[in-house]
Structure 1
Amino acid sequence: MKIIILGAGRVGQSVADSLVSERNDITVIDTDAARLRDLESRFDLRGVVGNGIEPAVLAEAGAQDTDLLIACAARDETNLVCCKVAQLLFRIPTRIARVRSRGFEGDGRLAGPEGFGVDRIICPEESLTRYIGKLIEYPEALQVREFAGGRACLVAVRARAGAPMVSHSIGELRDSHPDLSVRVVAIYRRFPEEPDRFIACDGGTRIEPGDEVFMLAAREHIQDVLAVVHRRGSQPAQQVRRIMIAGGGRVGLRLARQLAQAGGRFHVKIIEESHALCVELAAALPSEVLVLQGDTTDEDLLGQESVQDVDLFLALTEDDEDNIMSCLLAKRMGARRVLALINRRSYADLMHGTQIDIALSPAQAMLGELLAYVRQGDVQAVHSLRRGVAEALEIVARGDRKSSRVVGRRVNELQLPRDVHMGLIVRGLPESPHTAPTDAPGEPQVIIPRSTTVIESNDHVVFFLPHKRLVRDVEKLFRVSATFF
């Protein structure tokens, strides 16, 4: 696929890094020539220096035969105008824009074909807020990713000694919990002096203490899934009540506003160093959210604000080093769980396995929304995992037995690549699977596939792929052809 990326900032670089590794033809436009030279030296892509709203610059970048435009420059106006120019002059089929302004929410006329010609608006801050919201809802999880409009989820959790199914095999989990709609799709195990290693899963694989376990389950079974791997004995589910946010920028403000709408469920404090920003936060947020001016790495301040009683400490400033240090300090002082927002991929890799419970990359949180437009076939959802190495993919089976390699066939007949794990099937979804799930009769069915399960047309099949290079093989398998031999 031929792709133009407008903007070589943090988001643009992360997107380029992910897409180049999949053998796409990438061109990046930016006004900073030095930044583009750095990108060209690190990745197999082409840089064009200039303003992306100018037709001549887009033409130089090859807009005449481009398949996808991703406009992620620093300013909303630049991204919107670039999409409109790409629509009117170059007829680029798919146009995605990063827009921070909330004024475009809920009104498709502004962004649609008669407006700025944007097919999809992406807001990294909104993606982060949604992602963190899921971690607050399920505080024992390391990751929670949704499929089929939220009807099914991929959950990553750290196995704890003493939990019911830890030190037992996956087969024993199935036998002891036959009514639990769950499939263990991957285990990453820690080894001394080595990085975590992927462990392929079958019925005989044992779940060991300290394993990072990836499980696909129906939405209503997530708490049960967490219980069997993470909770000791009859230990109740953890609840998040007290939250401390370090950093009152865009993400911190969005998250605090969202938490305040929960009707007193959360006790939220924000620490921000800038006096002017503290004044803005206090004016924008309800009175029950406490806004404090101070340094997030100040041990005395954290102690005065009882960080040891905090259920979740979130470091969301724009400074990676401050986020890392404030999380380590908060954890040492007794915060139950800490999350650090880290932009640099190398830093995120270093934090894995330390006292920081979750190291979250803003680009990784939103990358799946972009990847769904790059994937071939009827891909509904993509989630980038393990810092971009692995991937979870929701793809729809189309056609019939004559035109499809999967429809009408049993799971054990499919020619799946080695290590690709089929996690679950959601059957009976409407044509628009992203409608909100309900408990009404006739709800779509979440199926844990067995070897004899037959794939039907319109089944939404969710896969776990430990290596992104396997994506093309899965897409090819699900491709519909006029005739199939």
Structure 2
Amino acid sequence: MPNILILGAGRVGSSVAEQLVHERYNVTIVDNDASLLKPLADRLDLRTLVGLANNPKTLIAAGIQDADLLLAVTPYDEVNIVACKIAHDLFNVPTRLARIRDQDILEYPSLFTEGGFAINHVITPAQIVTDYLVSLLEIPEALQVLEFAAGKAKMIAVRVEAGAHMDGKDLATLALYLEKIECRVVSIYRKNKRIRPDGIVDLQVGDEVFFLAATEHVQRVVSEFCSNQKQVKRITICGGGNVGYRLARQIEKRYQVKLVEHNKERANWLAEHLPNTLVLHGEATDEDLLENEQIDRCDLLLALTSDDEDNIMSSLLAKQMGARRVVSIINRSRYVDLLQGGKIDVALSPAQVTIGALLAHVRQGDIAAVHSLRRGEAEAIELIAHGTRDTSKVVGRQLDEIKLPQGADLAAVVRGNKVMIAHHDTVIQSDDHVILFIDNKRHIRDVEKLFAVSVGFF
């Protein structure tokens, strides 16, 4: 059983710790704030330690000598960097991952080599969340957009709308509408309960449908579930923090962007650094400000401040005043479950968006991508198959020969540049990128074992 040492019990650290404990990993988490550790210790089977994450004696007390993986995810770049360097030089920890926020440091990847900071993998949560929001802009009807095989395939979650082609139709009808386009519906959720997607299921308004298709076919498939597709042109961003600024910078040349920031000094800085964005100093919950800025003509409002209540209120207010669609960042996972699909079209947890980047380095096997679905209930995973029919349980076998765990659906195979939707007679070859949907994370280990290569391969 791998031993994992997590440094930092903030939102990212605590979320990944909870996930790893549920998957039965041995987890120790360190933070200098005891108030962050106590709730974790009270409800999770893990070890906690109060101390400085970049102090060798603290790390020794946390058991770093036996750690297989170090996740340094404190809010401080310098602490994470020093911790990884200590882990490498003094304790020979095999894998070291650090959270880095400073964009200037990230521009010099040579710093992270073993001769430098000795960081194997770098994650930047703000950029991960920003990239995820950009993908939602490109498919505005989607609840989730997940990329696989370097963008060649996407898994999309959409809600069935009244009047759409698939409203009231059985799932088998989808193939008739799509003609020669292939996609795989991997799951359907109705009132938060999963329905297995066989051909006789009749879809209802409000059903959440998860499908996978080649990227070039995604918009066409979405059109069968959504009756009112409109192009996004006008975007309002509430909050000019790390995510708000990064998002505006990435999209301001393609959309008409307004950004509302309550801090005057920050608003002035944003105005200087975002030449194509209209920066407004004010509160996103100010009804007069929203009315003056014609929020009723806004195609999409994104509430991206660090305050959950402000994000919720600004989203609800904008929706009431006529904004077509609203997306809100919400850090408290219980709030996400309450609000998703109501007046707020998409409620997302930054920790859940970020967690996949961490899990891809924790999981056993050759993992190319991990995505958390349904607020952490389910998972989509991209594994690379290796070996031969003699050394692997999947290579050289048709899909109907492979004994997948209950609740796991092998959705597609990406071979080179070709995306192949999986059928019963699809044969897995070595080096194929295999994309699976897993409805219950308790079965993750079974999937990893299934794709493991026997000793004879080496």
* TM-score relative to the length of structure 1: 0.92
- Inter-partner Cα distance in structure 1 for 2:420 and 2:341: 33
Contact (CA 8 Å) 2:12, 2:354: kept in 1 or not? Answer: no
1:205 maps to 2:201: yes
Residue in 2 that maps onto 1:451: 424
Contact (CA 8 Å) 1:243, 1:269: kept in 2 or not? Answer: yes
Q: CA deviation at 1:231?
A: 2.6
- Inter-partner Cα distance in structure 2 for 1:52 and 1:105: 21
Residue in 2 that maps onto 1:8: 9
SS in 2 for 1:90: coil
Contact (CA 8 Å) 2:175, 2:182: kept in 1 or not? Answer: no
User: Which amino acid is 1:238 matched to?
Assistant: K
Residue in 2 that maps onto 1:255: 247
- Inter-partner Cα distance in structure 2 for 1:226 and 1:17: 33
Per-residue CA deviation, residues 130-166 of structure 1 (Å, 9 max, x unaligned), is 0000011111111100000000000001111222223
Residue in 1 that maps onto 2:441: 468
User: Which amino acid is 1:478 matched to?
Assistant: F
- Inter-partner Cα distance in structure 2 for 1:207 and 1:395: 30
Q: CA deviation at 1:186?
A: 0.4
User: Which amino acid is 1:100 matched to?
Assistant: R
- Inter-partner Cα distance in structure 1 for 2:448 and 2:39: 33
1:269 maps to 2:270: no
Residue in 1 that maps onto 2:60: 59
Figure out how many residues of one structure are paired with residues of the other and give that number.
456
- Inter-partner Cα distance in structure 2 for 1:457 and 1:74: 40
Contact (CA 8 Å) 2:100, 2:106: kept in 1 or not? Answer: no
- Inter-partner Cα distance in structure 2 for 1:454 and 1:289: 50
Contact (CA 8 Å) 2:298, 2:324: kept in 1 or not? Answer: yes
User: Which amino acid is 2:440 matched to?
Assistant: H
Q: Which deviates the most, 3-12 or 330-339?
A: 3-12
User: Which amino acid is 2:241 matched to?
Assistant: G
SS in 2 for 1:141: coil
- Among residues 332, 349, 353, which one is paired with 1:361 in the alignment? 349
Residue in 2 that maps onto 1:440: none
Per-residue CA deviation, residues 112-147 of structure 1 (Å, 9 max, x unaligned), is 211111111111110011000001111111110000
1:44 maps to 2:45: yes
Q: Which deviates the most, 46-55 or 333-342?
A: 46-55
SS in 1 for 2:172: helix
- Inter-partner Cα distance in structure 1 for 2:197 and 2:379: 16
- Among residues 349, 352, 357, which one is paired with 2:337 in the alignment? 349
Q: CA deviation at 1:106?
A: 4.0
- Inter-partner Cα distance in structure 2 for 1:387 and 1:245: 23
- Inter-partner Cα distance in structure 2 for 1:80 and 1:254: 23
- Inter-partner Cα distance in structure 2 for 1:176 and 1:101: 48
- Structure 1 segments (4+ residues) deviating >4 Å: none
Q: CA deviation at 1:461?
A: 0.9
- Inter-partner Cα distance in structure 2 for 1:412 and 1:463: 15
Residue in 2 that maps onto 1:244: 236
- Inter-partner Cα distance in structure 1 for 2:152 and 2:114: 31
1:373 maps to 2:361: yes
Per-residue CA deviation, residues 405-441 of structure 1 (Å, 9 max, x unaligned), is 111111111111122111111012xxxxxxxxxxxxx
Contact (CA 8 Å) 2:178, 2:221: kept in 1 or not? Answer: no
Residue in 1 that maps onto 2:83: 82
- Inter-partner Cα distance in structure 2 for 1:115 and 1:179: 52
SS in 1 for 2:210: strand
- Inter-partner Cα distance in structure 2 for 1:370 and 1:40: 21
Per-residue CA deviation, residues 295-354 of structure 1 (Å, 9 max, x unaligned), is 111111111110110011011001001100110000000000001111111111111231
Equivalent residues in 2 for 1:81-230, closer than 5 Å: 81-190=82-191, 196-230=192-226
SS in 2 for 1:84: helix
Q: CA deviation at 1:18?
A: 1.3
User: Which amino acid is 1:465 matched to?
Assistant: I
User: Which amino acid is 2:363 matched to?
Assistant: R
- Inter-partner Cα distance in structure 2 for 1:366 and 1:42: 22
SS in 2 for 1:91: coil
* TM-score relative to the length of structure 2: 0.97
**Unpaired stretches in structure 2, ≥5 consecutive residues:** none
User: Which amino acid is 2:60 matched to?
Assistant: A
Residue in 1 that maps onto 2:279: 291
Residue in 2 that maps onto 1:439: none
Taking a change above 3 Å as real, the CA distance of residues 178 and 456 of structure 1, as seen in their structure-2 partners, is farther
Per-residue CA deviation, residues 209-258 of structure 1 (Å, 9 max, x unaligned), is 211100000010011111111136xxxx4211101111111111111111
1:409 maps to 2:405: no
- Inter-partner Cα distance in structure 1 for 2:278 and 2:179: 46
User: Which amino acid is 1:141 matched to?
Assistant: A
SS in 1 for 2:369: strand
Report the identity percentage. 51
- Inter-partner Cα distance in structure 2 for 1:20 and 1:242: 43
Contact (CA 8 Å) 1:6, 1:70: kept in 2 or not? Answer: yes
Q: CA deviation at 1:457?
A: 1.1
- Inter-partner Cα distance in structure 2 for 1:224 and 1:65: 51
Q: CA deviation at 1:468?
A: 0.6
Contact (CA 8 Å) 2:129, 2:350: kept in 1 or not? Answer: yes
- Inter-partner Cα distance in structure 2 for 1:368 and 1:177: 31
- Inter-partner Cα distance in structure 2 for 1:408 and 1:205: 32
Q: Could you say what the CA RMSD is over the residues aligned between the two structures, in angstroms? A: 1.3
Q: CA deviation at 1:7?
A: 0.8
User: Which amino acid is 2:193 matched to?
Assistant: R
Q: CA deviation at 1:87?
A: 0.7
**Unpaired stretches in structure 1, ≥5 consecutive residues:** 191-195, 429-443
SS in 1 for 2:156: strand
Residue in 2 that maps onto 1:438: none
Q: Which deviates the most, 102-111 or 12-21?
A: 102-111
Q: CA deviation at 1:483?
A: 5.0
Q: CA deviation at 1:482?
A: 3.1
- Inter-partner Cα distance in structure 2 for 1:358 and 1:63: 40
